[in-house]
Amino acid sequence: MRDIAFGQYYPADSVIHKLDSRIKLILVVVYVVGVFLVNSFISYIPVALFLLSTILLSKVSLIKVMKSIKGILFIIMFTSLLNIFFNKVDNVLWSWGFLVITDGGLKIAAKLALRLLLLVAGTSMLTFTTTPMGITDGLESIMKPLKLIKVPVHDIAITMSITLRFIPILIEEIDKIIMAQKARGASFDTGGLVKRIKAYLPVLIPLFVSAFRRADELALAMDARCYNATQNRTKLKELKCKKRDLIALFITTIYLILVITIPMFFPIILDFFSK
């Protein structure tokens, strides 16, 4: 089976794992907002520090985090390359025909790559440290006010958790179908781009058919276990805000303040040390 780390739970006994899932969801949103507020390299320092300390506290192995980034490495490289060549700012460093590299372009590309890296690594920390059921319960609890305007909050939440559960199953299925098609002489790595894309059609169709069949069986099984029997659904695991959740919230607030203010204070600090 292919090892897909993104969206998978990594069981460990850590403070981050124990945090209330609602708080974790809020923290991730704040973290992402922070990443997008960054506009100079210096502001990446608090972001990176925040992420690094979260990873260390969570006891998730660094290799696992790297693997989650591996999946989007291609996208990062592709977008950075485009940004290097299409941003023509400041001094020209190198040019060949229509291809021009400027130092401004390099800076923009580097910032973008960093931003994507931090974004994916940070958000995958949520799924590493929270079970899909935890995420579901957290989302449901946060979205509770929407129930008043008749939004099926619980159904949305359970759909999400089932999606996460079926990612590895469907990936396994893709591998099986590819092997079956290969055994019948299909080729996936010869020919041009169009031919290769076409070769995946006989993989996608059986995949969809089987996904529908699975959905049908799952619906039957959920019905058999009394899904929607009562409006007053109970929960095995109660969400409780504890002291550590407040501390986490406090630290994250400091993080956001640092991200915003560091570009303003940095010249002052630099000034102070140079005296």
Contact region with another protein (CB under 8 A), list: 46-54, 92-100, 184-192, 217-225: 217-225
Pick between residue 224 and residue 264 the one whose CB is nearest to another protein.
Answer: 224
CA dist 234 and 237 (Å) reads: 9
Q: Does 223 bind another protein (CB under 8 A)?
A: yes
Residues 6+ apart with CB under 8 A from 115: 35, 36, 38
Contact region with another protein (CB under 8 A), list: 116-124, 161-169, 175-183, 243-251: 161-169
Contact region with another protein (CB under 8 A), list: 106-114, 141-149, 195-203, 215-223: 215-223
Tell me which of 150, 184, 225, 240 binds another protein, using CB under 8 A.
Answer: 225
CA dist 5 and 128 (Å) reads: 9
CA dist 264 and 271 (Å) reads: 12
Residues 6+ apart with CB under 8 A from 178: 188, 203
Residue 101 has phi, psi (to 5 degrees) of -110, 130
Q: Does 222 bind another protein (CB under 8 A)?
A: yes
List the one residue out of 169, 72, 175, 166 whose CA is nearest residue 118. Answer: 72
Going residue by residue from 230 to 249, which x/- string records binding to another protein, judged by CB under 8 A? Answer: x-xxxxxxx-----------
Q: Does 214 bind another protein (CB under 8 A)?
A: yes
Tell me which of 148, 193, 201, 226 binds another protein, using CB under 8 A.
Answer: 226
Pick between residue 24 and residue 102 the one whose CB is nearest to another protein.
Answer: 24
Q: Does 2 bind another protein (CB under 8 A)?
A: no
User: Would you state the torsion angle of the CA atoms of residues 107, 108, 111, 115, taken in this order, to the nearest 10 degrees?
Assistant: -170
CA dist 97 and 220 (Å) reads: 63
Residues near another protein (CB under 8 A) are 9, 11, 131-133, 158, 161-162, 164-165, 168-169, 214, 217-218, 220-230, 232-238
